[in-house]
Structure 1
Amino acid sequence: MEKIKNLAASIENHASFDYISKLAEQLIWFVDQNIELSRAADGTIFFGDHRTKIESILELTPFKIGHLEDAHFCSAKFLRELSYGSSHNYNDSEIVLFYLFPEFRQIDYKKVDEIRFGIPVALILEPQIKEINSTHSMLKKVEAWEESLKQWDVRVKQSEDRYQGVIDATNYLGLGNAFDKMLQEKRRERDGLRSNLTKVGLITLVIPVIFLLSGTSNFIQSLFSDDVKTSVSSISTFVFSIALEALLLYYFRIIYGQWLIAKKHVLQLSLRHEMCAFVNEYAKSAKDMDRTTLSKFENLVFSELSADLNAPPSVYDAVDSIAKVISSLKKPES
């Protein structure tokens, strides 16, 4: 109050003396009041906030006209809000009427609008404002959920890509496993044919070795001997040996041909097994690639195994060859 009085006394010759003195008079009345006030809804917070604002202005040093105006407006605002939020009614007090019905041109009309309309509208619309704030808070949560959903969408797409990668890998493993099984079977077949080829070849060599070890000269002499019994026995042995040798050579050729086919099949299956590594890219690019390129790839991987070897002679061919050998031996010398 001393600050306010000193400020009012120092402006006796000021052009706005009436305006400033009215401010000082009403503010002194406000500060000098000693009344018990109550506000049910938010009393503690309400009184504490307004008291802090008014005190902070009044304690400024040096105390100027602008500080007087601010303290006067805060005091009027306090009484105006108190009149709407409690059983007290200070709307007819001079400090509030100073803004409701302004008489001085020095009054800031923003303050007039705040006292006239701002405070009533804010208090009347307070429930709606709470709803709006609640809705705004909910919208913020929805936006946060949308952002979270976007992140989950990205994660789901990443999971789908990983799952698709697992499916592609499974398809590749399935196709590769099928070729691996065929490879194992063909390798066993190839190894078995090679073993049989070796056995037949060794047996084929046994007959000439036996003749060499038994002595060919005695055998040839008994073959052309005058003794019919000995000659027939030698001829029979010789013919049987030739037939057996020809039969062994025939089967040797068959087994050898089958062994070559098995080797070629193993080579083709190995190539196709390696080409399975490109099946994923092939599946992805099949829609956009040229059909000619795709047909070449499909023919390489999914076509039948080829042998491309001449067919072995039939049994009749072998018998016919043996008969020709025997008949050439029986022809008399010219």
Structure 2
Amino acid sequence: MSIPRDSYFATEKNKKILSNMAVKVRSALDTQRDRENDKYKFLLEFIGTTLFYIESDPESFDERCIMNIAALGNRFMDDIRGFDLGETDAQYLFAQCYRFLVEYQLSSPHPVPSDMLTVLSRVSDFEYGPATSQVRYAGNQMLINVVQHYLYHPSLTSLKDLPAVIKRSEDEREGAERAILERETRVNALAEKLVTYETAFNFVGLYSGFKSLKTTKVSEKNWNFLFLLVLGFLLLVPVAVKFFSLLGAQGKVELDIVGFSALVGLELLLLYFFRVALQNFRSIKAQLLQIDLRMTLCQFVQSYAEYSTAAPEKSAGLLERFEQVVFSGIVNDESAIPSTFDGLDKLAELVGKLRK
């Protein structure tokens, strides 16, 4: 049984204390290998084994030594920090380690490691002086306390309500199934609508392409319209200048054939470019109209897709007109736009006649 609790041995501070003392105890045990004090060597071995396993898996000891952590956790860490390897202090620290290992063994769902069992089996081989009462408590009364702690834990006492919990869970399951059935009905209704949206979104790229093309053409139309205004203004400027120059002349006005010829030629040239720009402006407007038509037809693409799928083979030509409009190229009507050099030969003939 896993009873969650806050970390104690698994904190960085306590892990560092355990690691430092484990190294210190191992070093002291190495110096005692050839000496005759078997009891002291066993105390160090037991303490070192306990510290090793707590350091190796502190989360497991946090989970399985709840009672002793609550009873002597802080004192245990203080004693470890202040342990000076003396035999008396070793006996007290051994008793505390013994309590932790006994509780760990009782609450473990699996057998503990063999070296831990070995040191536990040798506890009865020695007397522990002032720590004897703690050792006896760990081997007798503490076993009862640990069993009581887990037996009467709220997580276990609630098992007596298991039949009512099972019935309540069955009722909740039936209610959940009804709710799922209702939601499934609503989801199916939404799925039918999503089929429509899916096909429509498949043509988002086509609509976006037309939209981008329209933006480009609108900008082109605006610049073309501005160019038309400039050409219209330039058509009026030479006439106005000539008119005001004649009004300002004093005395008899002489007919300036060359000047008038140049003026007429300039006006004809400006008029020609104005005509070219006007035709181009009309062409752009026609293209924009075609683009708007395609964008409008894209809104009916779902109905088009459904009808094209369901249409019988003998009616295969019914949708050709729709496809020609949407997928055909945009007509520029370039044949109606005069070339840049159209009419220059006639203009040259006119200038030659005026000169004669």
Give the TM-score, by structure 2 length: 0.43
Which is greater in Rg?
1
